[in-house]
């Protein structure tokens, strides 16, 4: 028998599978069919052979591992596109070029499963994820098809299996009608990428059951809601519960319980048993509500400190491994994150087990996105076409049904970026009828008519403030009942803080708003992981690739590299910043060090699990320390704690006297060790360096343009000169959403030519105590620039530079004809650039660290005496760009393969704020013209920038640009530096 036509262009859900069931742990036997399958790839459904393959004829085929994507397994290459569709919008048709993968596996059914079947039981074949459409066969008989790549499908195979040598065959198309509903911003990765399992269903077993725990905060009592297909015994041993429950719905009073929350992820093991099957669930008792505009859990307001998480493994794509999933969630918890939106599809089921256990609130999102319709002004959007209703409802039904026992899931999300319409409404209706224990989320319809929260993405700070004040714009339809209802819902910022490259700036300012207005329930950073794909480059080294690197004709470059962690799970500076912004404890040292103010931002627990210690360092030496006696502060309350006398003292110092307060875990948790730091507060009193008398330096130590030949023990290769440009960050390359009609910063800089400034020496003047060098730095074609007066002298401590900088000319766009609007050329930075001999080896510095920061990403750094190795100087962004600045630096030793120099702030305005120091293996032109980190040349020199001011980084790739307060308009400056030999 030959396989029937493979229909991949038919509007509708898959067919032939059984009704979706809740995911439960069971003692019924199962058999994993993961592992090696026979595999054959055809270029399109029309060219897929109609031979005897479904009966196991696979001679000459290749092999593939399941689960995997075939284009990550040597069959084809991955492709990335975001909103734009890789083929014409011509629903329900996929393109002719539509790879088809045939999978075959011959199995002997495990004896345990056979026994169940022999006793009259049934067997199910379960697929947890196939992208994008499959036809399923057993022993040559077609059982049906799947739609919904990240959704589970089960087929009853009882009457099809013989027990020995059974042939399981699956034909998978990369694209299908389903693809029109799955245009998420991610790699196109086809294949059987989640597990395949054979499940035994014993006679008298529990075919389906839903167990959820409810918590009544007024009585402190819990209740277990049970819906089961078979009469069974419910047991919760810890609560002394052992009751018979009949088939159907029932509620069992659990008495006094400890509630579940992200902060107290208390789970109770529960079982439901019949004579032939026991299923087990980890119950959490909690109640989530939208209460008068406030999101609450167990009667208390909660704040979502969230991230959006895709499933991504740089070597495997969307194939889940327990190890990476746990690593992700543990890293989240360690960085104070308490919520995950599973953008934009249900995650691997194990992720929810981990979220229950570790304590994370989950917005579980349906596998739905029709974003491609934005390109055609949403014309013909399936979301509003009744022909697609069954497909939409099937998707949400599979999502909710699989995951409904998880206490961590507090909202169902209907999907992402799919516009509005009747099918979105039908999905919401289905959820309302089937699960009352969570709220409904959906961002794509701003009327919020079907949701329980008002959700938006990338709203500006100003709009978020207005939403908080309930003074936001009234919907075009006017202020009817629907609009009043929307305005009364809690607000969730489901995507904000676009973490692409050196980013996201402005998050702190969002957080201040969330904290200020009770209606604002927090937000989710876009996004958790960079989706770089790892390859081995021509030198045999591991290297990261992005859109366009695999020859795609339609792609979105590196827009998929926008995470708080790298694809290899290295923490990016944005995560450190976010962790501090959302820290559950805010520690403020009173100005005069009299005491500290503590703000407990936990929603459910007091502060007794934290040990609060203090430490005083003078010029890098710890002079006193101790633990503070902090009476427990209740959730969302504040307290003031006095400081002991030794902490209050401030000594004279040359660098700084620093008081640091640290709150750390008293005991280990499932996600961190004892002593893990949750929050830090500081008071820095800057010291005053003293220098001996100055004398004029030997002019022979300078070149003919008045530049020193050496600094410390290092030869100067180039400079020093004045720089106001940076290697554009991803954000610099995009117009901010707040200024959509203006050219992006990087373009303004290029138009104003500040990336290629020229220096003219106006005069060199030996004076009694200094060599004075007067320079003008200007942009070609323009009369704007920076005048710099350099005063070099020798002091007993080393070589002193006093620098005066004056902005000259105009920095508006009047001179650029093509500019239709008025804008200014804000600078990227203002400082000195100098190239020193030798590749960088590292640095030691006293300043804000240990990692990099910029004016709008400076929450996660604190003052200290730090070291950075060669590989910590800059951030290895996949697309090279500006990074690595250490701010507030007062003194630092820069080491290269040729020697070292110490640079210290000794005067001028830098005495208060310090300088921003960037030590990079690459110059800015190289950084800005190299497409991938792996293509950067081996470092030969050390590029040092010492900046008196810098611009923030903003989040213009998706959202507002740099906030005005963090910009750097043209300005003057004066400061003094000391260079010493070490
Ligand atoms: C928004 C998407 O929801 C998300 O999937 C991702 O694409 C993100 O942006 C950008 O990285 S959609 C955007 C056009 C607002």
2 — pLDDT class (breaks 50, 70, 90): very low
CB of 42 within 6 A of ligand 1: the answer is: no
CB of 82 within 6 A of ligand 1: the answer is: yes
CB count within 10 Å of CB 479 equals: 10
950 burial class (0-12, 13-18, 19+ CB within 10 angstroms)?
buried
What confidence tens digit (pLDDT) does each residue in 88-133 have? 999 999 999 999 999 999 999 999 999 999 999 999 999 999 999 9
812 — pLDDT class (breaks 50, 70, 90): confident
CA triple 398-403-406, angle to 5 deg: 165
CATH superfamily of domain region 584-686: Immunoglobulins (2.60.40.10)
Regarding beta strands 656-665 and 677-686, do their DSSP bridges make them parallel or antiparallel, or are they unpaired? antiparallel
Residue 1 pLDDT: 42
Quick check: 924 and 727 in contact, CB under 8 A?
yes
Quick check: 107 and 166 in contact, CB under 8 A?
yes
Element (H, E) at 463: helix 461-469
**pLDDT of residue 177 exceeding 50:** yes
CATH 3.20.20.80 segments of the chain = 304-579
Nearest to 589 by CA among 656, 686, 681: 681
Ligand 1: centre distance to CA 191 (Å): 24
CA distance 433 to 438: 12
CB of 416 within 6 A of ligand 1: the answer is: yes
**pLDDT of residue 911 exceeding 80:** yes
CA distance 131 to 191: 5
Report which ligand 1 atom has the smallest distance to the Cα of 457: 15
Token readout for 364 is 């579980």
Averaged pLDDT score across all residues of the chain: 96
Instruction: Report the CATH fold assignment for 25-201.
Output: Jelly Rolls (2.60.120)
What confidence tens digit (pLDDT) does each residue in 767-792 have? 999 999 999 999 998 889 999 999 99
Token readout for 27 is 């003692």
Element (H, E) at 573: helix 573-581
Residue 802 pLDDT: 98
CA distance 753 to 690: 40
CB count within 10 Å of CB 665 equals: 17
816 — pLDDT class (breaks 50, 70, 90): low
CATH 2.60.120.260 segments of the chain = 25-201
Q: How far is CA 232 from CA 25, 117, 254, 528, in A?
A: 15, 21, 17, 41
CB of 526 within 6 A of ligand 1: the answer is: yes
Residue 810 pLDDT: 87
Report which ligand 1 atom has the smallest distance to the Cα of 443: 3
CB of 417 within 6 A of ligand 1: the answer is: yes
CB count within 10 Å of CB 516 equals: 12
Ligand 1: centre distance to CA 185 (Å): 7
817 — pLDDT class (breaks 50, 70, 90): low
Going 192 to 194 to 199 to 201, the CA torsion angle's sign is negative
CA atoms within 13 A on the CB side of 271: 14
Residue 840 pLDDT: 98
Angle between helices 573-581 and 507-516 (to 10 degrees): 20
Quick check: 661 and 589 in contact, CB under 8 A?
yes
CB of 232 within 6 A of ligand 1: the answer is: no
What confidence tens digit (pLDDT) does each residue in 429-457 have? 999 999 999 999 999 999 999 999 999 99
Give me the residues paired with residue 313 across strands.
317
Ligand 1, atom 2, lies closest to the CA of 185
CA distance 441 to 592: 47
Tokens 């059914």, located at residue = 109
Angle between helices 349-358 and 322-334 (to 10 degrees): 30
- Does domain 209-286 sit in CATH 2.60.40.10? yes
Q: How far is CA 440 from CA 224, 289, 378, 708, 794, in A?
A: 22, 11, 23, 66, 70
CB count within 10 Å of CB 686 equals: 19
Ligand 1, atom 13, lies closest to the CA of 958
Token readout for 373 is 């319709």
Tokens 């004896």, located at residue = 111
By most ligand atoms within 8 Å of CB, the mutation choice from 504, 958, 959 for ligand 1 is 958
Quick check: 209 and 228 in contact, CB under 8 A?
yes
* Region for 497 from its dihedrals, namely left if φ exceeds 0, alpha if ψ lies in -120 to 50, beta otherwise: left
Beta strands in 796-839 (DSSP E): 798-808, 829-837
Residue 740 pLDDT: 87
CATH 2.70.98.10 segments of the chain = 699-981
Report which ligand 1 atom has the smallest distance to the Cα of 343: 5
Residue 527, preceding peptide bond in cis (omega within 30° of 0): yes
**How is residue 635 annotated by DSSP?**
T
Residue 635 pLDDT: 98
**pLDDT of residue 466 exceeding 80:** yes
What is the set of active-site residues?
A: 417, 495
Nearest to 644 by CA among 665, 633, 630: 630
Q: How far is CA 978 from CA 220, 621, 631, 682, in A?
A: 65, 22, 46, 27
Ligand 1, atom 7, lies closest to the CA of 185
Token readout for 46 is 């029309």
What confidence tens digit (pLDDT) does each residue in 590-626 have? 988 999 999 999 999 999 999 999 999 999 999 999 9
**pLDDT of residue 494 exceeding 90:** yes
What confidence tens digit (pLDDT) does each residue in 526-584 have? 999 999 999 999 999 999 999 999 999 999 999 999 999 999 999 999 999 999 999 99
CATH number for 304-579: choose from 3.40.720.10, 2.30.42.10, 3.20.20.80, 3.40.50.720. Answer: 3.20.20.80
Its pTM stands at: 0.98
Residue 430 pLDDT: 98
Ligand 1, atom 4, lies closest to the CA of 185
631 — pLDDT class (breaks 50, 70, 90): very high
* Dihedral pair phi/psi, residue 623, rounded to 5°: -100, -20
Residue 820 pLDDT: 56
Residue 824 pLDDT: 84
CB of 562 within 6 A of ligand 1: the answer is: yes
Instruction: Report the CATH fold assignment for 699-981.
Output: Beta-galactosidase; Chain A, domain 5 (2.70.98)
Residue 71 pLDDT: 98
3-state helix, strand, coil in the chain (%, to 5): 15, 35, 45
What confidence tens digit (pLDDT) does each residue in 651-695 have? 999 999 999 999 999 999 999 999 999 999 999 999 988 999 999
CB of 185 within 6 A of ligand 1: the answer is: yes
**pLDDT of residue 333 exceeding 80:** yes
CATH 2.60.40.10 segments of the chain = 209-286, 584-686
Contacts of 385 (CB under 8 A, 6+ apart): 421, 422, 423
**How is residue 578 annotated by DSSP?**
H
Ligand 1, atom 12, lies closest to the CA of 417
Assign 171 to helix, strand or coil. strand
819 — pLDDT class (breaks 50, 70, 90): low
Token readout for 606 is 């007091």
**pLDDT of residue 821 exceeding 80:** no
Ligand 1: centre distance to CA 629 (Å): 46
What mean pLDDT is predicted for residues 820-839?
90
What confidence tens digit (pLDDT) does each residue in 383-436 have? 999 999 999 999 999 999 999 999 999 999 999 999 999 999 999 999 999 999
What mean pLDDT is predicted for residues 828-847?
98
**pLDDT of residue 738 exceeding 90:** no
Residue 720, preceding peptide bond in cis (omega within 30° of 0): yes
CB count within 10 Å of CB 16 equals: 14
By most ligand atoms within 8 Å of CB, the mutation choice from 378, 495, 955 for ligand 1 is 495
CB of 734 within 6 A of ligand 1: the answer is: no
CA triple 161-166-170, angle to 5 deg: 100
Q: How far is CA 544 from CA 650, 876, 939, in A?
A: 49, 11, 19
Tokens 């593939």, located at residue = 64
CB of 457 within 6 A of ligand 1: the answer is: yes
């Amino acid at each position: 028998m030959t396989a029937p036509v493979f229909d991949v262009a038919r509007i509708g859900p898959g067919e032939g599978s059984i009704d979706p069931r809740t995911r439960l742990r069971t003692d019924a036997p199962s058999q994993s069919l993961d592992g090696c399958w026979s595999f054959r790839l055809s270029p399109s459904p029309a060219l897929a052979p109609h031979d005897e393959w479904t009966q196991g004829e696979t001679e000459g085929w290749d092999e593939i591992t399941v689960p995997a994507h075939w284009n990550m397994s040597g069959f084809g290459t991955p492709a990335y596109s975001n909103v734009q569709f890789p083929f014409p919008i011509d629903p329900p048709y996929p393109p002719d070029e539509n790879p088809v993968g045939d999978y075959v596996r011959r199995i002997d059914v495990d004896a345990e499963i056979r026994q169940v079947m022999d006793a009259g039981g049934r067997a199910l074949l379960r697929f947890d994820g196939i992208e994008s459409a499959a036809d399923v066969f057993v022993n040559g008989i077609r059982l049906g098809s799947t739609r919904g790549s990240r959704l589970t499908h089960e087929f009853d195979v009882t009457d099809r299996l013989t027990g020995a040598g059974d042939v399981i065959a699956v034909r998978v198309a990369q694209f299908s009608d389903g693809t029109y509903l799955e245009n998420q911003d991610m790699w196109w990765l086809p294949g059987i990428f989640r597990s395949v399992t054979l499940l035994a269903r014993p006679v008298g077993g529990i075919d389906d059951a839903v167990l959820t725990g409810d918590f009544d905060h007024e009585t402190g009592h819990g209740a277990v809601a049970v819906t089961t297909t078979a009469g069974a015994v419910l047991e919760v041993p810890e609560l002394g519960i052992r009751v018979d429950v009949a088939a159907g719905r029932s509620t069992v009073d659990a008495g006094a319980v400890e509630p579940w929350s992200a902060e107290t992820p208390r789970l109770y093991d529960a079982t439901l048993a019949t004579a032939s099957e026991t299923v087990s669930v980890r119950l959490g008792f909690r109640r989530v509500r939208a209460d008068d505009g406030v999101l609450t859990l167990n009667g208390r307001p909660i704040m979502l400190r969230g991230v959006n998480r895709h499933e991504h493994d740089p070597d495997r794509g969307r194939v889940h491994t327990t190890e990476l999933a746990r690593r992700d969630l543990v890293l989240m918890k360690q960085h104070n994150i308490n919520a995950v939106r599973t953008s934009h599809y249900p995650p691997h089921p194990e992720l929810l087990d981990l979220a229950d256990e570790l304590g994370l609130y989950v917005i579980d999102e349906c596998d739905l996105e029709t974003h491609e319709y934005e390109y055609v002004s949403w014309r013909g959007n399936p979301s509003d076409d009744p022909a697609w209703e069954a497909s939409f409802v099937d998707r949400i039904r599979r999502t909710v049904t699989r995951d409904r026992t998880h206490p961590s899931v507090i909202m169902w999300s209907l999907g992402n970026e799919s516009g509005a319409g009747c099918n979105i409404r039908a999905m919401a209706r289905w959820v309302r009828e089937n699960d009352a224990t969570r709220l409904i989320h959906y961002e794509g319809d701003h009327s919020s008519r079907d949701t329980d929260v008002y959700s938006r993405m990338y709203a500006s700070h100003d709009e978020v403030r207005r939403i908080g004040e309930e003074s936001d714009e009234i919907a075009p339809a006017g202020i009817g009942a629907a609009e009043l209802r929307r305005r009364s819902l809690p607000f969730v910022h489901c995507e904000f803080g676009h973490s692409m490259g050196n980013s996201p700036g402005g998050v702190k300012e969002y957080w201040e708003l969330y904290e200020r207005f009770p209606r604002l329930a927090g937000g989710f950073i876009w996004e958790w992981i960079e989706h770089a794909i790892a390859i081995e480059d021509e030198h045999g080294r591991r290297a990261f690739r992005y859109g366009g690197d695999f020859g795609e004709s339609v792609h979105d470059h590196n827009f998929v590299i926008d995470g708080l962690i790298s694809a290899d799970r290295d923490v990016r500076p944005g995560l450190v910043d976010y962790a501090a912004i959302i820290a559950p404890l805010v520690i403020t040292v009173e100005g005069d060090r009299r005491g500290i103010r503590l703000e407990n931002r936990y929603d459910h627990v007091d502060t007794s699990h934290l040990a609060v210690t203090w430490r005083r360092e003078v010029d890098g030496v710890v002079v006193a320390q101790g633990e503070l006696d902090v009476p427990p502060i209740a959730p969302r309350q504040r307290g003031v704690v006095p400081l002991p006398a030794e902490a209050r003292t401030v000594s004279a110092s040359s660098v700084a006297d620093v008081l640091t307060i640290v709150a750390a875990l008293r005991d280990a948790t499932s996600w961190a060790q004892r002593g893990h730091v949750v929050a830090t507060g500081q008071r820095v009193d800057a010291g005053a360096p003293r220098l001996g008398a100055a004398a004029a330096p030997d002019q022979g130590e300078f070149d003919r343009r008045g530049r020193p030949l050496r600094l410390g023990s290092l030869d100067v290769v180039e400079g020093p000169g004045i720089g106001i440009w940076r290697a554009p960050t991803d954000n610099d390359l995009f117009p901010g959403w707040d200024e959509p009609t203006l050219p992006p910063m990087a373009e303004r800089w290029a138009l104003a030519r500040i990336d290629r400034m020229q220096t003219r020496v106006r005069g060199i003047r030996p004076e009694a105590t200094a060599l004075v060098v007067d320079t003008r730095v200007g942009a070609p074609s323009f009369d704007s620039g920076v005048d710099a007066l350099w005063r070099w002298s020798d002091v007993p401590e080393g070589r002193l530079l006093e620098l005066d900088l004056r902005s000259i000319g105009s920095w508006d766009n009047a001179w650029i004809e093509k500019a239709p609007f008025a804008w200014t050329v804000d600078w990227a930075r203002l400082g000195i650039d100098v190239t020193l001999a030798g590749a960088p080896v590292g640095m030691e510095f006293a300043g804000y660290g240990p990692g990099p920061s910029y004016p709008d990403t400076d929450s996660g750094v604190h003052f200290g005496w730090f070291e950075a190795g060669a590989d910590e100087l800059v951030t290895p962004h996949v697309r090279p760009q500006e990074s690595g600045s250490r701010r507030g630096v007062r003194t630092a030793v820069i080491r290269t393969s040729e020697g070292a120099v110490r640079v210290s702030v000794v005067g001028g305005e830098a005495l208060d704020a310090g300088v921003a120091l960037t030590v990079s293996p690459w110059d800015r032109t190289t950084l800005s013209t190299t497409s991938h980190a792996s293509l950067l040349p081996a470092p030969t020199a050390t590029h040092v920038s010492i900046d008196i001011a810098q611009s923030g980084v903003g989040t213009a790739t998706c959202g507002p640009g740099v906030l005005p307060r963090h910009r750097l308009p043209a300005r003057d400056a004066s400061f003094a530096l000391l260079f010493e030999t070490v």
